[in-house]
């Protein structure tokens, strides 16, 4: 799996974030001078599957690019999604995640829980490469 740099403006979130978590993440990224963990996105739709706080930190930092791993979400059996406990009424599956991202609306924070059986690589990406 390859880490690529993706235009932040092209991405489609499907879930809200927690502002306190975002604030801490922005501070950590600024202190570290970059990102270590890439976000996970669907190659075709550009839906964000994992990394909404990292995505929102890129928006807040006015970055043009963000490190990402692209997957074929609907066909990749190593990625599973379910509702977080207490959010079972949302009946989240892969197609529902893509539909939400494409609709321009978003689920409440901590609605979808993605699990991956494959390990995804990390790599330091300095902010200077992302501006």
Domain membership of residue 104 (yes or no) is: yes
What pLDDT, on the 0 to 100 scale, is given for residue 82? 93
Domain membership of residue 128 (yes or no) is: no
pLDDT (tens digit, 9 = 90+) per residue, 37-48? 999 999 999 999
The residue segments making up the domain with residue 14 are 4-122
Count structural domains, the chain.
1
For residue 76, what is the DSSP state? -
Asked whether residue 86 carries a pLDDT value surpassing 90, the answer given is no
Domain membership of residue 127 (yes or no) is: no
Question: Can you tell me the distance from the alpha carbon of 131 to that of 52, in angstroms, rounded to the nearest whole number?
Answer: 19
Q: For residue 51, what is the domain's CATH number?
A: 3.90.1530.10
Banded model confidence at residue 87, pLDDT cuts 50, 70, 90? confident
Domain membership of residue 109 (yes or no) is: yes
Residue 116 CB coordination number (10 Å): 15
Domain membership of residue 85 (yes or no) is: yes
Question: Can you tell me the distance from the alpha carbon of 40 to that of 31, in angstroms, rounded to the nearest whole number?
Answer: 23
Question: Can you tell me the distance from the alpha carbon of 13 to that of 11, in angstroms, rounded to the nearest whole number?
Answer: 7
pLDDT (tens digit, 9 = 90+) per residue, 43-77? 999 999 999 999 999 999 999 999 999 999 999 99
What pLDDT, on the 0 to 100 scale, is given for residue 91? 86
What pLDDT, on the 0 to 100 scale, is given for residue 7? 98
């Amino acid at each position: 799996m390859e880490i690529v740099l993706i235009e932040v403006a092209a991405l489609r979130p499907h879930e809200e974030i927690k502002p306190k978590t975002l604030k801490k993440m922005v501070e950590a990224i600024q202190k570290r001078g970059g990102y270590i963990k890439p976000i996970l996105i669907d190659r075709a739709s550009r839906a964000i599957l994992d990394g909404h706080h990292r995505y929102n930190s890129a928006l807040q930092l006015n970055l043009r690019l963000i490190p990402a791993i692209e997957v074929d979400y609907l066909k990749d059996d190593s990625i599973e999604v379910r509702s977080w406990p207490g959010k079972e009424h949302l009946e989240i599956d892969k197609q529902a995640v893509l539909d939400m991202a494409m609709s321009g609306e978003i689920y409440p924070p901590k609605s979808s829980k993605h699990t991956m059986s494959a390990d995804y690589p990390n790599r330091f990406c300095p902010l200077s490469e992302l501006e």
